[in-house]
Structure 1
Amino acid sequence: MLARLRSSWTAVVPVVGLIMLAVTWGVSPGPVLATGIAVVLVGVVLAAVHHAEVVAERVGEPFGSLVLAVAVTVIEVALIVTLIASGGEGSHSLARDTVFAAVMITANGIVGVALLVGARKYGIPRFNPEGAGAALAVVTTLATLTLVLPTFTSARPGPEFSPLQLGFAAVASLALYGVFVLTQTVRHRHFFLPVVAADDGEDGLHGPTPTNRATYTSLALLCAALVAVVGLAKTVSPVIEAGVSRAGIPESFVGVVIALLVLLPEGLAATRAASRNRIQISLNLAYGSAIASIGLTIPAIAVASIWLQGPLTLGLGGTQIVLFLLTVIVGTLTVVPGRATRLQGAIHLVLFAAFLFLAMFP
């Protein structure tokens, strides 16, 4: 009975989210409507996590993590391009702010919570340093090529790439993302599998392996839920922008809020995996999302820049570069041993808190 009730609400909520999106699209929501949208948004996020787990169970790891990361990122790219095309204030740096926020949220926020949850429950959670280290190396390379280098190049004034440089960064990002996916799913798939079995008493998944029909249904509902999440996030973005402005917080913080909303499904999925002693899956979700966010967003923005008007600011500021460098160093020290304690989780969460604080009060 409980399983049937869970299945029914997770099927209904994404449809409700799409209906609300259709009704509120183009409408400037007031406080009451914005609250209603937020409630539906939370429900849709929880439903998305459920359907992502169903798909993950059917296709196995690391394909399950890859499906959720790519699905979220594709829709995130569509949201960024849409907001840039609208030409609002701060839109020229929205791609940089959102992508960098995604990197910090995944590499510090999601990783920190997952390690803390896993260590609290299992003492010293273990994972594959080969897989986690490879993923972190790809994140570091992609972020440096696309977000750090524009600050130091001289072809254009300001933290911008020239069209030729942007084209190179786009091709390099897409190529590196493709090589990573092949490594993760074909050549060295075992690097990205959990090193210990899940705790059966806490698994709480769906019993037998889902059928093809159930998997396709969940995949369709997952896509619907993600469309609803991103669309509703865009609908409430004017309220977010107004709130950010009234609070005296920099306009760039809008990108952080958007990234937080879009990455909620992955954050919850990673936390649930950590609670079942599947830290490797949590790291796959975290670093995989960061890789997909950069590897797919930058090429899409490069193509869109052909018809988008205005400058495209990609280069990070000094404070952001320092935070990113510290994240890479700490992340390396975390993944190399193949095991972690609460201390590593706490360090990542402190870095994440520093990122949020400095984004609001630079």
Structure 2
Amino acid sequence: MTRTLLSWTTLLPLVALLALVLTWGRELPLVLSLGTGVLLIGAVLAAVHHAEVIAHKVGEPFGSLILAVAVTVIEVALIITLMTSGKAGTETLARDTAFAAVMITCNGIVGLALLLGGTRHRLVRFNPEGAGAALAVVATLTTLTLVLPAFTRSAAGGLFSGAQLAFIAVVSLVLYAVFVQTQTNRHRDFFLPVDATGRKIDESHATPPSTRQALISLVLLLAALVSVVGLAKGVSPVIEEGVKAAGIPSSFVGVVIALLVLLPEGLAASRAALRNRVQVSLNLGLGSAMATIGLTIPSLAVASIWLPTPLNLGLGPVQITLFALTIVVGALTVVPGRATRLQGITHLVLLAAFIFLSINP
């Protein structure tokens, strides 16, 4: 079984890369577009496998960081791919996708991890220092980048002025960099999993893959990411047309993109929770939310120089309300350092409310 899995994760990025070469720049019929979508999802799943191999080599919390950054690369590429079309509604795509990523990670990934962990292990434990610090950074970054544009007066309609956008991009990068330094160096122990007694578990002593295996996974991870980025260009019209045909607001495209790119994080976090390593799940979920804002928004701020549409980042009242409730519930979840499936279900209800109101605003 292991050999089959390894063979599958080795071949799929290469097949996806070949498909990218054959389809690049061509308008695909529906059947081929659907096939491309299947390959894209497969490449995402292969990417998470190889990211986890590299993560095992470098240890936690570096592993969660690698996967979060890899997923963010996919997200930025998908957003820019759709925004370059210049179609109506793409000016809010970055906002919709970034906010959807925050809601999916803070409520979906965290909620699912707590539900699975709480169901199997009854009571799960994690580090309130690390989870609380991550949640605080997510709240700060999201408020600065997505909430403030709805209230600033230099530019109308949820837009930052050029100076404001530059300032927000710089402080987002600085805050994210400081958090990464804290997570991986100065206070690394805050982000390690804990056992049933609350004792921190450093799993760096576990037998890691060889350097050769890690390097092969690195190459295949890069191939998978390039494939996902390129194949997204062929799939994006299908996503847009499908949302339009269903009579759903165009803003839901951002939710679809976020769900797609966060699939690897969700799978990895769920597996960690079932192993009673909920701290790893929180590192993945909150770390992805942080990377989405701290890396995606600055990247798009630079890309906005040549993008054909303005970068509208301001959230609406319903979104701001859901975000505020998410942060309050998240704080009450992480402060005790332990949780049951009740907290998981509460977060999942918030995610369901977000998705429902995105479809039926």
Aligned partners of 2:52 and 2:308: how far apart in 1? 40
Moved more, 12-21 or 139-148: 12-21
Residues in 2 aligned to 1:134 and 1:115: alpha-carbon distance in whole angstroms = 18
Q: How far off its partner does 1:4 sit?
A: 1.9
For residues 200-222 of structure 1, the C-alpha deviation after alignment (integer angstroms, 9 at most, x for no partner) is xxxxxxx8420011011112212
SS in 1 for 2:126: coil
Give the C-alpha shift of residue 345 in structure 1.
0.5
User: How far apart are the structure 2 equivalents of 1:92 and 1:286?
Assistant: 26
Does the 8 A contact of 1:233 with 1:261 survive in 2? no
Taking structure 1 as reference, are residues 227 and 267 closer, same or farther at Cα in structure 2, changes over 3 Å only? farther
Structure 2: how far apart are the matches of 1:75 and 1:246?
Answer: 26
TM-score by length of 1: 0.94
Paired with 1:7 and 1:101, the residues of 2 have a C-alpha distance of: 32
| 2:245 equivalent to 1:246 | yes
Regions of 4+ moved over 6 Å: none
1:332: which partner in 2? 331
Name which of structure 1's ranges 20-29 and 276-285 shifts more when overlaid on structure 2. Answer: 20-29
Q: Deviations over 1:94-130 (max 9, x none)?
A: 1111111110111111111111111111111111010
Correspondence for 2:298: 299
Distance 1:310 1:5 in 2: 45
CA-atom RMSD, angstroms?
Answer: 1.5
Shift of 1:27: 3.2
Q: What is residue 177 of structure 1 aligned with on the other side? A: 176
CA–CA separation in structure 2 for the residues paired with 1:272 and 1:194: 14
Alignment TM-score, normalising by the size of structure 2: 0.94
> Is the 1:53–1:64 contact (alpha carbons within 8 Å) kept by the matching residues of 2?
yes
Q: Could you say which residue in structure 1 is the equivalent of 2:125?
A: 126
For the residues of structure 1 that align with 2:347 and 2:222, how far apart are their CA atoms? 30
SS in 2 for 1:86: coil
- 2:270 and 2:292 mapped to 1: Cα distance? 20
CA distance in 1, matches of 2:84, 2:30: 26
- The reply on whether 1:92 has 2:102 as its aligned counterpart is no
Distance 1:305 1:42, change over 3 A: closer
1:77 CA displacement: 1.5
CA contact (8 A) 1:29 1:239 kept: no
* Residue 44 of structure 1, CA deviation: 2.2
Q: Structure 1 residue 25: deviation in Å?
A: 2.6
Q: Quote the residue 2:225 is aligned against.
A: 226
How far did residue 235 of structure 1 move?
1.7
Contact kept in structure 1, 2:83 and 2:308, CA below 8 Å? no
Partner of 2:202: none
Deviation sequence 1:334-354 (CA, Å, 0-9, x none)? 111111111111011111111
Alpha-carbon distance between aligned partners in 2 of 1:304 and 1:39, rounded to the nearest angstrom: 28
Aligned positions of 1:47-86 closer than 5 A: 47-86=46-85
* Contact 2:109-2:285 within 8 A present in 1 as well: yes
1:182-261 correspondence runs (5 A) = 182-196=181-195, 208-261=207-260
Equivalence for 2:145 = 146
Residue matched to 2:32: 33
Q: Which residue of 2 aligns with 1:204?
A: none
- Residue 109 of structure 1: aligned partner: 108
CA distance in 1, matches of 2:224, 2:95: 25
TM superposition shift of 1:240: 1.0
User: Alpha-carbon deviation of 1:151?
Assistant: 0.2
CA distance in 2, matches of 1:20, 1:341: 44
When residues 3 and 208 of structure 1 are mapped into structure 2, their CA distance, relative to the original with a 3 A threshold, is farther
SS in 1 for 2:170: helix
Closer, same or farther: CA 208–44 of 1 in aligned 2, 3 Å: same
Residue of structure 2 in register with 1:272 after alignment: 271
| Distance (Å, rounded) in 2 between the aligned partners of 1:223 and 1:263 | 17
Further displaced range: 83-92 or 243-252: 83-92
State the partner residue of 1:357.
356
Q: Which runs of 5+ in 1 are unaligned?
A: 198-206
Question: How many residues were matched structurally?
Answer: 352
Matched, 1:15 2:14: yes
In the alignment, residue 281 of structure 2 is paired with which amino acid?
S
Contact 1:195/1:280 (CA < 8 Å) preserved in 2?
yes
Q: Which residue is 1:137 aligned to?
A: 136
